[in-house]
């Protein structure tokens, strides 16, 4: 069984949308990870570790369309370029996929994600993809969360979790640290 990991920059009020600014889903606080927050390299160590440990990447359609024109040429994301990618979308077609970012497979539903998790292989990391995160969390498919929580309240933007009425889900903290700029690293395993 493969581990499905959601990784995110998240505001204290749960917004994961447009942390770096730009993109199609901007809001008045877009670029919030750069606004008056001191850069502390140690806070981002987990991002490098994710590239080393992940064996595949999963994205929703909007995040794929935002990242695929840029990430293949970014040296800091070289490990992601060669790993297999899975895009969960009901609308994206094969002709919409870029050809310079490694093998990419389109999945059409959470059921297909569940089947992928049952295959052999290492962890699958999900970047961005707020809508996908909400859907997979609601379906009980996410196994771990890698969160960098920023000390800001945004009030606007897509939230990490849905407002769906569902049963309590316990999480186990496996890593946590607070950095001098107020960012908190929180790594949770989902308790099943």
- Residue-wise pLDDT tens digits, 96-129: 999 999 999 999 999 999 999 999 999 999 998 9
d(CA 182, CA 192): 31
**CA 33, CA 157: separation in Å to the nearest integer?**
13
* pLDDT at 158 (0 to 100): 87
Continuous H helices in the chain: 45-53, 61-67, 78-82, 110-117, 130-138
3-state secondary structure of 96: helix
Domains in the chain with CATH codes: 1-21+75-192 (3.40.430.10)
């Amino acid at each position: 069984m493969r581990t499905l990991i959601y990784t995110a920059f998240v505001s204290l009020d749960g917004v994961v949308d447009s942390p770096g600014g730009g993109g199609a889903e901007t809001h008045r606080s877009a670029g919030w990870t750069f606004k008056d927050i001191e850069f502390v390299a140690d806070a981002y160590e987990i991002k490098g570790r994710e590239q080393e440990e992940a064996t595949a990447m999963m994205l929703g359609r909007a995040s794929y369309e935002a990242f695929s024109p840029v990430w293949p040429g970014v040296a800091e994301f070289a490990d992601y370029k060669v790993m297999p990618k899975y895009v969960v979308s009901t609308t994206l077609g094969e002709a919409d996929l870029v050809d310079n970012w490694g093998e990419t497979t389109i999945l059409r539903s959470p059921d297909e994600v569940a089947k992928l998790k049952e295959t052999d292989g290492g962890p699958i990391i999900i970047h961005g993809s707020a809508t996908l995160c909400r859907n997979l969390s609601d379906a009980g498919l996410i196994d771990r969360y890698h969160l960098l929580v920023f000390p800001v309240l945004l009030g606007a933007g897509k939230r990490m979790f849905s407002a769906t009425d569902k049963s309590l889900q316990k999480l186990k903290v496996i890593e946590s640290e607070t950095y001098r700029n107020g960012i908190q690293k929180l790594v949770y395993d989902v308790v099943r």
